[in-house]
Amino acid sequence: MPTSIQVLDATGTPQTINTNPALGQALANASIPVVLASDQGALPLASGASTSAKQDTGNTSIASIDAKTPALVTGRIPVDGSAVTQPVSAASLPLPTGAARETGGNLAAILAALESGSSTALLAGELHIGSVSGQSALVSASYARPANTDYYTALDVFSNSTSAPALLSFTNIARVNAGSGYIVKARLVTDQASNASRFRLHLFHTAISPIADNSPFASLYANRANKIGFIDFDAMGAEGSGSDCAESSNFSTRLKFVCAAASRSLYGILEVRDNFTPTSGQSIFVELTAEID
């Protein structure tokens, strides 16, 4: 396409009467408006141009995506990260109740007590916090036999009554209910200075039926679960002239015990091992020393 139109004037000299713009944007700017006739046929569309046809495939995809998108929360799409470990960033988090702290709390109280030398804040518990050495217990029990001088035969029970006997009760030998330990020493004293009999102390963690004085000691299978064992005493003996009692001690015993669930006590029955004649209302005293857990 020529870029200009020229004509010859009267002298035969070429004259340019019109210049065509260059192809491209300049040509478009210099285009002359076109008016289509009412009966003009359809014009061809550029390749790939949009039409008024329905876009079903695209609309279906958009609807599917819209159904899967959660509702906005404060203008943001919420994200569920429960299926994977998520990093957490926080300026501070609350501590569980009773947790140790850099300052304050139980730890501070314990440290303060240690620094001050006070033990009142460090009462021993089941973890033995504040306990700095082994613990022991010294307990005793006693009673007087009936007001008679009925002869004892070996293996009879030495008790306080022929009709309403009681057990020897060693109260609070354990530190806590169901507490445990070892009996490491036992001492037996009677106010009959001439007594030279041997005795045996049967011990139970749960009270059993007591046995009347001067009745045979019956060892019952039914009491097997309640009995923790027995302690033997060698022959009783007095010291020098003027003594008004006889005694015997066992320093070699090491008898393990565990008290009943709701108890800190042990219970005993005293059995004579040799024949002897008692005094009326004769008294007996038993003392136990225990290492306790």
148-178: per-residue pLDDT in tens? 999 999 999 999 999 999 999 999 999 999 9
The domain tally of the chain equals 1
What is the value of pTM for the model shown? 0.59
Q: Looking at the domain assignment, is residue 283 inside a domain?
A: yes
What secondary structure does DSSP assign to the chain, as a single string?
Answer: --SEEEEE-TTS-EEEEEEPPPTTHHHHHTPPP----TTPPPPPPPTT---SS--HHHHHHHHHHHHHSPPPBTTB-----TTS------S--PPPTT---SSSHHHHHHHHHHHHT--TT----TT-TT--S-EEEEEEEEEE--SS-PPBPTTBEE-S-SSS---EEETT-SSSTT-EEEEEEEEEEES-TT----EEEEEESS------TTSBPP--GGGTTTEEEEEEE---B--STT---EEEEE-S--EEEE--TT---EEEEEEE-S-B---TT-EEEEEEEEEE-
Residue 254 lies in a domain: yes
With 70 as the cut, is the pLDDT of residue 131 above it?
Answer: no
Q: Is residue 235 part of a domain?
A: yes
Say if 75 falls within a structural domain.
Answer: no
Domain assignment of residue 261, yes or no: yes
The mean pLDDT of 256-281, rounded to a whole number, is 98
59 — pLDDT class (breaks 50, 70, 90): confident
Tell me, what CATH number does 217's domain have?
2.60.120
**178: containing domain:** 135-292
